[in-house]
Amino acid sequence: MSINQNIKPITLKTNEKGNLEIGGCDTLELADKYGTPLYVVDEATLRGIAREYKKAFSKLENVNMMFASKALMTSAVAKILSDEGFGFDVVSGGEIYTVKNAGVDMKNTTFNGNNKTVDELNMALDAGVGHISVDNFLELALLNEIAKSKNIVQKILLRITPGIECHTHEYIQTGHLDSKFGFDLTQLDEALELILEEYKNLELTGLHAHIGSQIFETQVYYDEIGVILKEIKRIKDKFGIELREINAGGGLGVTYTDEDCPPSVETIANTIIDSIEKHCTELGLQKPVLYIEPGRSIVATAGVSLYTVGSYKQVPNGRKYIAVDGGMADNPRPSMYGAKYYAQIANKKDEENFEKVTVAGRFCESGDILIKDIELNSPQAGDVLCVYNTGAYGYSMSSNYNCVLKPAMVLVNSSQSDIIVKRQTYAQLIQNDVIPDRI
């Protein structure tokens, strides 16, 4: 089984004390030592899935794995994935700053985004970002001007909207035609003419698409590669240049609950490789250099969140709510997308007294519900709740709503735990506040 098909990190087990253990560390001890809420990242699971990706695509001669930083960006995660041979898809000045500071070779980065600012483009060029995936006409003109002022010829991809619909949440679909991202296929020729004739400081190396996120189908990847390669063939016939690079984006799904059944990494890899082989033969193209940008599937399963259970409320003739010490600020996905999670009480293997409850967060919104209707083992105040699969889009989307401090993150491996993000302090919370003299 592929790691993205598991709900739990690969090292997760129940120890002799009856407590959940991850990376050889007792979750109760982690909660005690570092406090809750706590993000825990299992290094073996993270490196494991990174290696699965590399192996699955190793049949291709020219392939580059780019981790989509927005799923989880911290300096230690950047260091680990860089050591595993990954480059990085970055989408902001902050992500560029973080990966550069972590020692990543900036040639192995691609800068994406539908409205990159002038400052960010300047920063990207100064940092030596490998590729910029240009999203629209304004950016083409702007980037050429900036590159010219720096006397640089910048490698670019064109982000295209391949017109592929996948069955995922509307907010996380990106490849269908009515999307804010990328050039419509009908606009490609105009972009090419501009690049070839006017924008001499841009070197177009290929096309880029990303069809969505939390994807369970393989056919959409097959089709996506087909659309990209057919465009490359069309461009070759019309402009006489054969673009050598294709970036297929990310999107592979993970298993948040039993309802999710994503394909394995190997299945996705084989689908993409088959599609490249078939379409290149059919269209008479050379095999391109492939880039892929998985985000969620790299980090989701490696991460769990630990919370302490607090108050509860039994609605007369209704639900029983138990409240935990975190919620929508450290994991906004349930309140934003209706995302579902699986969880277990970390310290109660033996009691076997399951009851159906709804896990509420501590934030001042009725919508701050982490998990609706889940069977938990006699949850009581003081218990530790372990929510699985929170590695992706949790910390990276976290906020300071209600002025609650952002949790710490620890990396566990072989019975060792290390802080990789410190818990925020109250002083940090107001460090940028200013009270003007005149008030």
Ligand X SMILES: *Cc1c(COP(=O)(O)O)cnc(C)c1O
Asked if residue 294 has a cis previous peptide bond (ω within 30° of 0), the answer is no
Residues 6+ apart with CB under 8 A from 318: none
- For residue 145, which amino acid is it? E
Within residues 31-60, the interface with ligand X by CB under 6 A covers: none
| 404 touching ligand X, by CB under 6 A | no
Closer Cβ to ligand X, 139 or 293, answer by number: 293
Q: For residue 213, state whether it binds ligand X (rule: CB under 6 A).
A: yes
Q: Is residue 64 a contact residue for ligand X (CB under 6 A)? A: no
Q: Are 319 and 102 within 8 A, CB to CB? A: no
Which of 68, 78, 304, 309 is in the footprint of ligand X by CB under 6 A?
68
Binding flag, residue 70, ligand X (CB under 6 A): yes
Binding residues with ligand X: total (CB under 6 A): 16
The amino acid at 111: F
162, 182, 263, 295: which one binds ligand X (CB under 6 A): 295
Pick the catalytic residue: 166, 364, 386, 403?
Answer: 364
Is-catalytic flag, 386?
no
Q: Does 71 bind ligand X (CB under 6 A)?
A: yes
Nearest residue to 250 via CA among 395, 43, 108, 65: 65
Residue 162 in contact with ligand X, rule: CB under 6 A: no
- Give the one residue of 23, 250, 361, 391 binding ligand X; rule: CB under 6 A: 250
Which of the ranges 8-16, 225-233, 250-258, 407-415 carries the binding residues for ligand X, by CB under 6 A?
250-258
How far from 292 is each of 21, 86, 355, CA to CA, in Å? 33, 10, 43
Which member of 296, 333, 340, 362 binds ligand X (CB under 6 A)?
Answer: 296
What is the token pair recorded at 410? Answer: 């620890």
Q: Is 89 in the site for ligand X (CB under 6 A)?
A: yes
* Residues with Cβ within 8 Å of residue 29, at least 6 apart in sequence: none
The DSSP secondary structure of 101-167, one letter per residue, reads HTT--GGGEEE--SS--HHHHHHHHHHT-SEEEE-SHHHHHHHHHHHHHTT--EEEEEEEE-----S
Least separation in angstroms between residue 178's CB and ligand X is 17
Among 64, 205, 197, smallest CA distance to 132 is for 205
Q: Distance of CA 49 to CAs 46, 54, 262, 348, Å?
A: 6, 9, 14, 29
The residue range among 246-254, 301-309, 324-332, 339-347 that interacts with ligand X, by the rule CB under 6 A, is 246-254
Q: Is 130 in the site for ligand X (CB under 6 A)?
A: no
Q: In the window 345-364, what residues touch ligand X (CB under 6 A)?
A: none
Q: Which is nearer to ligand X, 165 or 237 (CB)?
A: 165
Gap between the Cα atoms of 18 and 346, Å rounded? 8
Closest CA to 43 of 410, 427, 372: 410
**Residue 391 near ligand X by CB under 6 A:** no
Residue 303 in the binding site for ligand X (CB under 6 A): no
Query: Could you say whether residue 251 binds ligand X (CB under 6 A)?
Result: yes
Q: Which residues are catalytic?
A: 364
Residues that bind ligand X in the complex, under the rule CB under 6 A: 68, 70-71, 89, 112, 210, 213, 249-252, 293-297
